[in-house]
Every structure is written in C-alpha cells, then in structure tokens.
C-alpha cells in the first residue's frame, strides 16, 4: 500500500513539472505562487554597478560605452597643435604667411625667407592675391616682393605652377625680372635690386 502511495506522489510530480532544456513549466497552482514573488532587492543596482543592460531580446549584455566627446575648448586645442602658425605668422588656407617690413632686394628677400624655412609667396587665384594685399596693408606697406621670377618664362620660386595672372603692368623682362604686388592694383615686374618689403610663406607641416 505504501509503495502504491509513493508511486502516485511521484507521478503527480512528473505531471506537474515538465522539464525542457533551459526552461521549467509549472502547473497552474505553482505558477500562481511564483508570480507573486518580488524581484530580489538590489538587483537593478547590481546591474548598473556592473554596467549590464537588457537588450531587445531580453538578454543581459555589457552596456555600450558612450563615445568620448571633446569640449569646444579641447577641440580647438587639438586643432591648434596641428595647424597653429608661429608667432607673427598668419594662417591662410594650409600655409603660414609672414609680412617682412624691412626693405630688401628680391634676392635678399628670398634668402631671408629661406633662412626661416619658407619661400617668397606665390599666387594661384584672386583670393590668394587679395589676402596678400590685405597682409601688406596691415603691415603698413603698399608694395611687397612675391616669389615671381622670370627665367625662361615666368615662374614661382616655390616651384608651384604659374597658372594665374593678375598683371596691372608688365615691363620688359630684360631689365625687370622680379614680381611685386601692389595693394591698390594687380602685380607688376620691376628691378630686382629695389629695397622693398616681402612676404614669406611655408606649409603648416613645417611651421
């Protein structure tokens, strides 16, 4: 009789609980009793502390880190490390420019720029020329040597192409072989021995 009673209890347990890999199904009576159980206190705090979140599938995964953002001041500081020009030089496009007010011949001006790791400035569009005119005006001058030189044709000493012209006057190249800007008009060629201010330029990667 005891054996029969024991088997009855075992069979009732088997029918009440069906084991499926990774999941347990409870009978109606058991389910109701489990639904009333409250979550363990402090669970959310523990998950937050370990940077764990629940994704759309209900799986706990590590919390994605927010990308580190730079403040405006920090961004300018980083940019400055790569693009700042030396003291006294002015940044324009990807280069640094220096207006040299001391009067020098074209050859002496070119040598001075070279000693600073630069060359006399070249011009490739109207914006470039306007910038150099403004730079000269702010320096208190009206004329300044640029890097234009006649040698078997007009060329720039920085070896960039001579692909833009803005002549206000063009004199005979047999006597006037160096180009200077004028803050009021376009450029012109004149005697290379004239003692005028000049403009040096160097790339930002050498500043």
The lowest-confidence range among 16-25, 87-96, 128-137, 145-154 is 16-25
Task: Tell whether 69 is covered by a domain.
Answer: no
Given this model, what pLDDT does residue 203 score?
83
* pLDDT greater than 80 at residue 74: no
The three-state secondary structure class of 176 is: coil
Cα 34–chain centre separation: 58
Confidence of residue 66 (pLDDT cuts 50, 70, 90): very low
- Residue 110's domain spans which residues? 87-206
Residue 130 domain-assigned (yes or no): yes
Overall number of domains in the chain = 2
CB 122 within 8 A of CB 133: no
Kindly state the percentage of the chain with pLDDT values over 90: 57
Clarify whether residues 38 and 139 are in a common domain. no
d(CA 195, CA 192): 8
Report the pLDDT value the prediction gives residue 204, as an integer from 0 to 100: 72
Q: Are 132 and 100 in contact (CB under 8 A)?
A: no
Does residue 56 sit in the same domain as residue 91? Answer: no
């Amino acid at each position: 009789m005891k054996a029969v009673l024991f088997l009855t209890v075992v069979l009732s347990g088997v029918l009440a609980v069906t084991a499926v890999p990774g999941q347990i199904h409870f009978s109606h009576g058991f389910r109701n009793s489990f639904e009333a159980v409250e979550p363990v206190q402090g669970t959310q705090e523990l998950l937050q502390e370990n940077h764990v979140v629940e994704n759309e599938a209900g799986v706990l995964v590590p919390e994605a880190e927010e990308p580190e953002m730079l403040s405006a001041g920090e961004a300018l500081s980083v940019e400055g490390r790569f693009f700042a020009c030396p003291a006294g030089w002015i940044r324009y496009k990807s280069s640094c420019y220096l207006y040299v007010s001391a009067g020098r011949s074209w050859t002496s001006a070119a040598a001075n720029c070279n000693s600073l790791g630069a060359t006399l400035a070249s011009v490739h569009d109207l914006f470039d020329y306007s910038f150099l005119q403004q730079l000269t005006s702010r320096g208190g001058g009206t004329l300044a040597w640029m890097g234009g030189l006649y040698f078997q044709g007009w060329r720039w000493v920085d070896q960039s192409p001579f692909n833009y012209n803005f002549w206000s006057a063009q004199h005979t190249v047999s006597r006037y072989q160096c180009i200077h800007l004028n803050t009021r008009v376009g450029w012109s060629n004149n005697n290379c021995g004239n003692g005028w201010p000049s403009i040096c330029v160097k790339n930002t990667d050498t500043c």
